[in-house]
Amino acid sequence: MQLIGQILHLLITPALWQTTLESGVLLLLPALGGVISERSGVVNIAMEGMMLTGAFAAVAVAEVTGNPWISTLVAIAAGGLMAVIHAVVSIRFRADQIISGVAINIFAFGITAFLNSKITNFQGFNPVKPSAQLPYLHIPILDKIPFFGPIFFDQNIIVYVGLFLLVAVQFMLFRTRLGLRIRAVGEHPQAADTAGINVYSIRYGSVIASGLLSGLAGAFLAIGITNVFNDGMTDGRGYIALAAMIFGKWTPIGSFVACLIFGLGTSIVANNSTLNVSRDLLSMLPYILTLVVLAGLVGKSIPPAADGQPYTPGSE
Amino acid sequence: MAAPQAPTKPAKPGETSMPVIWAKQLGRLIGAPIGSVIFAFIIGAIIVLITGGDPIQAYQGLFCGGIGLFCTGDLYSSITPALEISSTIVFATPLIFTGLAVALPFRAGLFNIGAQGQLTMGAIAAAAVGIHYASWPGFILLPAVLIVGTLAGAAWGGIVGVLKAFTGAHEVVTTIMLNYIAAFFLYYLLRGGPMQLAGQPEISANVGAGAQLPHFLNGNGQLFGQPIGVYQAHTGILIAFAVAVLFYILLKRTALGYEIRAVGQNQRAARYAGISVKRTLIITMLIAGAFAGLAGGVEIAGLSHQLTIRYATDSTGFDAIAVALLGANAAIGIILAAFLFAALRVAGPVMQGNANVSQNLVDIIQAVILFSIAANFLRTFKIRLPALRQTPPGEDAPMVATTVTELEDTEPSEPAEVGDTA
Amino acid sequence: MSTTAPETPQAMTGDEGTIAIEMRNIRKAWPGVVANDNVSFTVQKGEIHALVGENGAGKSTLMNVLYGLLRPDAGEIYVNGKLAHISGPRDAIALGIGMVHQHFMLIPPLTVGENITLGREPVYNVDVFDTAKANANIRELSAQYGLAIDPSTRTSDLPVGLQQRVEILKVLYRGADILILDEPTGVLTPQETDDLFVVLRGLVKRGKTIIFITHKLREVLEISDNVTVLRRGKVVGHLVTKETNQEEIARMMVGRDVLLRVEKPPAKPGEPLLRVEHLNVTSEQGIPAVRDLSLEVRSGEILGIAGVEGNGQSELVEALAGTRQVVSGHIQIGDAAITNIGARKIRSAGMAHIPEDRRESGLVLNYSIADNLIFGHQRDDTFTWKGIMLRLQTIREWAERLIKQFDIRTPSPDIAARALSGGNQQKVVVARELSSKPKVLLAAQPTRGVDIGAIEFIHRQLVAERDSGAAILLVSAELDEVRSLSDRIAVMYEGRIVSFEPADATEERLGLLMTGGGQKQEHASA
C-alpha cells in the first residue's frame, strides 16, 4: 500500500513530467532521423555516433564563441558530416549498413575523444558557461498554470523545436511529394527508379538528414541539459532512439510515443528518491519493452521492405 | 580449408594448376585484411599529422606498448617490453572468445552485436558460483565456474536465436537490447543489489581461491625490474586457443558446421537439402553465446576474480566485431586479429603517456579498418589490375567467398532471369 | 503471308508515318548465352503486336533493351522513325514508351493514386502532395480509357487484375503511346484476361500501340494483329495473325531443328512408386498454382511433364520435394505417405530432386565440389561419424569416384562449385541426386543452360536410372527433351494436367495442348 502511495505521489509531481518531455524530445530527434533514413531504405544504427559528434562540436564551439546558436549549427553540421560517411560507405560502396553503422559509432567515439584531449591537452573542456547554453523558455502567465504550466511552458527551446520537427517530419513523410518519394525508394527502389526517381539522391539526402537531426540532439544534450562534454557522453541514447523508432513502427508519431515512454523511465530514475526500487532495474524496462515488441507480442513491427538493401540499378 | 594436396596429373592447358589457385585464394584471403590495416594506419597517421602530432613517435609508442618492439630512445626506455607483451596476452584472451562468438553467427548469416551482453551474463553467473561456493576445491569449483559462465552466455545468445527463428526479430536490434539489459542487471547487482561487497562501491566479493585460473608467472620476486605480480597473463589464453581449435573443427569437420555454413551461404538450397534453417540458427546463437559467456567466466577466473562494472562498460563486445571481420571469420585470423587489437588497446596509454597522442587514436584505427573491410575500398584497386584476375573455366570469375563476387553476380547468367525478382 | 526474318530492314524513310518501333540487328549476350542474336523487330503504329517464344527465347531481353533496362551489345533502335539512344527507363518514358512488367513495379503500402503519379506528382504549396488533383487526374484518365479504379485504395488491397490496371494507368499517366506488356496474362484469371483484352482493344482504338509478350497462343490469335516469333535468341518468323493458325505458331515456337535422339530401350514399367492424388498447391502470391492434379509414376518409367513455364510445374515439383506446403491432396512414395512431412523426411523416404535452378537451390556455390556432392546427405552414416564428425577421407574418395563416374571436368574436388561451367555444375547436382539410389527422382529442367555434350550425358544417366528401376518425373520447358526422354507425357496447363499423351505424340499436338488449345475451352468455368 505504501508503494502505491509513493507511485501516486510521484505521478502527480510536475517535475517528473517535465523531465519526461525533455528526455523524450532528446530521444525523439535522433529517432526522427532514424525514421527518415530507414524509410528511404538505409538502416541506421549510427545515430549514437552522430549525436556524440554533435555534442562534442557544440561544446567545443561554445567554448570558443560563447554563442549557443553558432554552436548548435556547427553541431548539426558535424552530425551531418558523420552521416555523409555512412551514406558514402553504404550507398556508394554498398557496404553492409550495419557494419558501417558500428564503425561510425566507434569512429565518432574515437575522434571526439581524440580531439577532446588534443584541444584541451587532456584537461577536458570546462563546463559550458550559462551564456553559451541553450536557453529555457519561460512563457509568461502560461507557465504559472498549475501542474501543466511547468510541463509545457517551461522547457528548453529545443523541446519546442523538437515538437515542431515532429509535426514537420510527420507531415513531410506522409503528405508531401518528397515524403512519398522517400517511402517509395525504401519500399521498392526498382519501382521508384522506373518511375524516374533518383534513388541515390533520395537516399543520400535521407541519411544526411538523420545526421543533422542527431547532431541537433547532441547539441541539446551537451549545451542544453548536461552542459559539459565527457567522452562517450551519449551513453547509448542513440541506441534507445533506434529502439524507439522500431517500437514506433517507423513513424514519427509512434516513435514519439515510444520516446515518451522511455523518457518517463529516465525521469522516474531521476526522480525516484521517494521510490524504493533500484534505478538500474527501472532503467532496464525500455529495453525489455522493446524486446517484447520485437517478439511480436504487442503487434508486429515491420520495417520498410527494402530497408538495408543496397540498390544496384538494373537489377531486381 | 582442406589440406592442399598437389594434383598428380599435370594441369591441362586452359586450366590453372591447383597450387596457383591456392596461392591466389590465399592472396585474396589475406590481401584485404592486411590492406585494411595498412590503410587504417595511414589514415591514423594523417589525423595525427594534421592535429600537430608526430605519427612516427605515435606509432613507435604503439609498437613498443603493444608488442615491446622499438622501445628505443629516451621516450620509451622506461617501458618493460615483457610486461607489455604480458598485458597484450591478457587483453587478447577475451577478444578471441568474443571474436569467435561474432564469427560463428556471421558464418550462418547472423550479425551478433551481443557478445558484450553474453560476456556480461557469463561473468555474472561465473562470479555468483565462484563466490557462493568459494570453499569448494579447485578441481570442482573451477570447472563449475567456467561451465556456468558458458551456459549463461549460451542462454543469453539463445534468446536471440529463438526470436530470430520464430518471430523474425532482427538480431542486431535484439542483441543491442540484450546488451543493455545485461548491463543494467550487472549494475543492479553491484549497486545495492545482492552481489555488492558490503561497504564497497560497484564490486563484488572475490571468488574462492579454487575458482582462479593460474597465471603463467607466479612468485614474489622481480622480473625485468617489475614485481612478478604485475605480469597478469593467465592460462585462460590456452582455453581461448582450445576454443578456437574447437571452432575450426566445428565449422570444417562436423555435420553441424557444414549446415551452419550452408545456411549462411544459401538458405534456399539448405532448405532444399532438408536442413532446418530455424534449428540451425538457434543452435548457432547458443554456441556463439556460449563462447562469449565462457569469456566472462575466464575473465572472472583468470583476471579480476571479482565482478566489477567493467564487465558491461569496456569495449570488448565491439572490438570483437572488428576482430571477427578482420580475422575473416576464420579461427587463425581471429587469433591474429585479437592480438592486434589487444596490442593496440594496451599500447594506447603508452602512446598517450609518451608521445602525447590520445589513446583514442586506437578507436579511430579500428573504425577505419571496419569501414575498409565493409566497403571493400580495395576492390577499386583490384579492378584496375586486370592482370591479377584470371578467368576460371566457369561463367563467373571469383573462386573464393569474398565480397569481390558482388560485382559479377549482379549480371544475370541466363536471359530467362532478367524479369525475375531476386 | 508468312515471311522469314528480314535480314535487311527497309530504309527508315517512307515508313516514318506508320512505324512505331524498329529495332535493328539487336545483339545481347552474356557469358555463355546469346540472349538476342541479330534480332530485328518492327511494330506498326496502332497495332497489337504479339512477341512470342518459349521461356528463355529472348523476349524479355529484347523488351528490356527497348525500355532501357539493358544495353544492347550491338544494334539500333528507331522510335517513330528517329534513331533513339535509350540508356534508361527515363529516356524510354520520354520517347513515349511505357512498360508493364511481369512482376509489377507497384509499391504495396501506397495508394493507387500515389503509385500512378509517383515521379510526376501534382503538388501545391511548393511540395505538398495534391491528393485531390492526383485523384481527379486519375479519374479523368480512367474515364477516358474505360479503366475504372478507385485512386484512394491501398494498392496492396487490390486483386492482381486491378493491380495490373494500375500499372497500365501508370504508363498512360506518363503519356506513353507505345505500351509493352510482359506476359500480362500470366497472373490473371481467364475472366480478368477477358477484361484486359477489352481494355487493350480500347487503347488501340485511341491510337496506342501495344507490344504483347506471351506464350499463350490462344491469346495471340484472339488479340494480336501481327506476330513475331523468337526461338533461342533469334527471330524465326513474322506472321500476320489473320493468316496463320495456332499449329503454325506452335511449330515455329518449339522448332524442330534440334533433334536430340536418346538411345533407350523400351520401358518396362513396374508397380507405381509415386502417387499424387487431387493435389492443390498455391504460388507465392497465394494464387492456386496446382489444381486438383493427380498422377502416377511407375518403377522403370519416365513421366515427362510438358508445358509452357509458369503453368504450375515449379510449384508441383516443390510440393513433391517438400519445400512448398501442400494445401490439399495426397502424395505417397510406394506405400508411405509423404504429404507435408518436410524435405528431410521425404528424402529419406527415397526421393531425390534435381531442382530447376541449380545456382539458387541446387548448390552452395562457394562450397567445394566435394562438399556439394554430399549436400543433403551430410548426416548420413557413410559421411559422418555418429552424426557429428564428417569423415573427410570418405567424402573425398566419394567425390573422386563421382567426379570420374559422372565426368565432372575439374582439376580437383576442392575447387569451389562456383568455378565450374554450367554443365559441370549440373553434373554435380545430377551425380549427387542419382548417387543416393532414389526410388523416385524429380528432374526439373535437368539440362537447362548446359552445353550439348553435358545434355547428352545427363540424358543417358536419366535413362540408366530408369532402367535400374527408379520412377522419374521429368519437368522440362524443352519440348524436345520431354519427347525424347519420356515414356509417357502429361501436358500441364494452368495448374492442371490437360492430357496424358503417348511418348510419340506429335509436336503440333503437344504444342497445341500446352498453349491451351486442342481441348474444350473450359475458360468460362474458372
For A133, residues 6+ apart whose C-beta sits below 8 A from its C-beta are A62, A68, A223, A224, A227
Q: How far apart are CA B250 and CA A40, in angstroms?
A: 40
Q: Dihedral sign for Cα B268, B274, B279, B284, please.
A: negative
Residue at C370: amino acid letter: A
pLDDT in tens, B389-419: 333 333 332 222 222 222 223 333 333 222 2
B234-245 in b/e burial notation, b at 16+ Cβ within 10 A? Answer: bebbebbeebbe
Phi, psi of C51 (to 5 degrees): -110, 110
Please report whether residue A115 resides in a domain. yes
Q: In this predicted structure, what is the pLDDT of residue C55?
A: 66
Residues with Cβ within 8 Å of B265's Cβ and at least 6 positions away in sequence, in order, are B109, B401, C364, C365, C366, C367
Q: pLDDT grade, residue A316 (50/70/90)?
A: very low
Classify residue B71: in a domain, yes or no: no
Chain C residues 383-412 with CB within 8 Å of chain B: 383-384, 387-390, 392, 396, 409, 411-412
Give the torsion sign (CA, B144, B150, B154, B156): positive
Going across the sheet that includes C74-79, the strands are C33-44, C19-30, C74-79, C82-84
DSSP summary character for residue B359: T
For residue A183, what pLDDT is reported? 95
Residue B110 within a domain: yes
Report whether pLDDT(C27) > 90.
Answer: yes
**Using alpha carbons only, what angle is made at residue C331 by residues C328 and C334, rounded to the nearest 5 degrees?**
165
Which comes out higher in pLDDT, residue C5 or C438?
A: C438
Q: Kindly state the cell numbers that stand for A292.
A: 517484447
Average pLDDT over residues A76-98: 93
Q: CA-based Rg of chain B, rounded to a whole angstrom?
A: 24
Give dist(CA A63, CA A57) in Å, integer.
Answer: 10
- Give pLDDT tens digits for B220-276: 888 888 888 888 999 999 999 999 999 999 999 999 999 999 999 999 999 999 899
- pLDDT given at position A293: 79
Q: How far is CA A118 from CA A52, A113, B357, in A?
A: 17, 8, 8
Size of interface A-C (CB pairs under 8 A): 65
Of C93, C103, C110, the CB nearest to A183: C110
Give the whole-angstrom CA distance, residue B311 versus residue A133: 35
The residue that leads in pLDDT, A59 or C522, is A59
Q: In sequence order, what are the residues at sequence separation of 6 or more whose Cβ sits closer than 8 angstroms to the Cβ of residue C274?
A: C295, C296, C297, C320, C331, C332, C333, C440, C471, C473
- Please calculate the CA angle B286-B289-B292 and round it to the nearest 5 degrees: 155
**Distance between CA atoms of B330 and A2, rounded to whole angstroms?**
57
The b-or-e profile of C158-193 (16+ CB within 10 A means b, else e) is: bebebbbbbbbbbbbbbebbbbbbbbbbbbbbbebb
Strands (E), C349-407: 351-354, 384-385, 389-390
Strands in C335-410 per DSSP E: 336-337, 351-354, 384-385, 389-390
pLDDT tens column, C428-437: 999 999 998 9
* B314 secondary structure, DSSP code: S
Which residue has cell 506488356? Answer: C181
Cβ of B51 under 8 Å from any chain A Cβ? yes
Cell numbers 563462447 correspond to B291
Q: What is the C-alpha separation between B104 and B116, in angstroms, rounded?
A: 15
**ipTM above 0.90 for this complex:** no
Distance CA A107, CA B205 (A): 36
DSSP, collapsed to helix, strand or coil, labels residue C210 as strand
**How far is the C-alpha of A80 from the C-alpha of A207, rounded, in Å?**
8
Check residues C449 and A61 and name the one with the higher pLDDT: A61
In DSSP notation, B7-72 reads: -SSPPPTTSPPHHHHHHHHHHHHHHHHHHHHHHHHHHHHHHHHHTT--HHHHHHHHHHHHHS----
User: What average pLDDT does the segment A133-156 reach?
Assistant: 82
Q: Which of A33-42, A189-198, A298-307 has the highest mean pLDDT?
A: A33-42
What confidence score (pLDDT) does residue A49 get? 96
HEC profile of A120-155: HCCCCCCCCCHHHCCCEEECCCHHHCCCHHHHHHEE
A307: in domain: no
What is d(CA C374, CA C79) in angstroms, rounded to the nearest whole number?
54
B359 closest CA partner among A46, A99, A231: A231
Q: What is the pLDDT of residue B17?
A: 64
* Grid cell digits, residue C30: 552474356
Chains near A, with 3+ CB pairs < 8 A? B, C
The alpha carbon of residue A227 is apart from the nearest alpha carbon of chain B, in Å, by 23
* CATH code, domain with A133: 1.10.3470
pLDDT tens by residue, B123-167: 999 999 999 999 999 899 999 999 999 999 999 999 999 999 988
- B/e letters for B173-209, b = 16+ CB within 10 Å, e = fewer, are bbbbbbbbbbbbbbbbbbbeeebbeeeeeebbbbbbe
Q: Is the pLDDT reported for residue A148 higher than 80?
A: no
Residue with cell 584476375: B389
pLDDT number for residue C263: 76
Which domains can be identified in chain C, with CATH numbers?
1-96+208-255 (3.40.50.300), 272-514 (3.40.50.300)
Tell me which range, B291-305, C96-110, C194-208, is most confidently predicted by mean pLDDT.
B291-305
Q: Per-residue pLDDT tens for A262-279?
A: 898 888 877 766 666 778
What is the tens place of the pLDDT at every residue in B87-114?
Answer: 999 999 999 999 999 999 999 999 999 9
Give backbone dihedrals phi and psi of B384, rounded to 5 degrees, phi first. Answer: -80, -5
Residue B100 lies in a domain: yes
As a whole number of angstroms, the distance between CA B113 and CA A266 comes to 24
Tell whether A222 is covered by a domain. Answer: yes
Q: Per the structure, how many domains does chain A have?
A: 1
pLDDT-based confidence at C276, cuts 50/70/90?
Answer: very high
C-alpha cell belonging to residue B92? 587478447
3-state secondary structure of C385: strand
Cross-chain residue pair A110–B361, CB shorter than 8 Å: yes
Nearest CB partner across the interface for A194, out of C89, C109, C127: C89
pLDDT tens string C37-53: 999 999 999 999 999 88
pLDDT reported for residue A273: 64
User: What was the pLDDT predicted at C47?
Assistant: 94
Kindly state the DSSP code that residue B228 receives in the 8-state scheme.
G
Which residues constitute the domain of residue B101? 86-216+227-340
CA–CA min distance A281, chain C (Å):
39
CA distance B308 to B48: 34
CA of A73, closest CA in chain B: separation in Å? Answer: 23
User: B40-86: per-residue pLDDT in tens?
Assistant: 999 999 999 998 888 888 898 888 888 888 877 777 777 888 888 99
Residue B373: inside a domain, yes or no? no
Sign of CA pseudo-dihedral A15, A20, A26, A32: negative
Q: Does A146 touch chain C (CB under 8 A)?
A: no
Higher pLDDT among residues B389 and C348, named by residue = C348
More confident call, B353 vs C273 = C273
Q: Which of the pair, A64 or B388, is modelled with greater confidence?
A: A64
What is the tally of structural domains in chain B?
1
- The residue-averaged pLDDT of A31-45 equals 95
Among B117-121, B126-130, B409-413, C120-124, the least confident range = B409-413
Per-residue pLDDT at C261: 66
Would residue A95 count as lying in a domain? yes
Q: Give me the pLDDT at residue B360, please.
A: 92
Q: Return d(Cα C235, Cα C2) in angstroms, integer.
A: 13
Which structural domain, as residue segments, surrounds residue A131?
2-294
CA–CA separation, A104 and B21 (whole Å): 36
Name every chain C residue with its beta carbon within 8 A of the beta carbon of B7: 411-412
Q: A301 or C212, which is more confident?
A: C212
> What was the pLDDT predicted at C12?
41
Chosen for mutation from C95, C101, C107 (greatest number of chain A CBs closer than 10 Å) is C107
Output the pLDDT for position C273: 95
**pLDDT tens digits, B167-214:** 888 888 899 899 999 999 999 999 888 998 888 888 999 999 999 999
- Assess whether pLDDT exceeds 50 at residue C5: no
- Identify the residue among B17, B266, B267 best suited for mutation to test binding to C, counting C beta carbons within 10 A and taking the highest: B266
* Contact between A220 and A158 (Cβ < 8 Å): yes
Average pLDDT, chain C: 86
Within 10 A of B355 (CB to CB), how many other CB atoms are there?
24
* Binding partners of B (≥3 Cβ pairs within 8 A): A, C
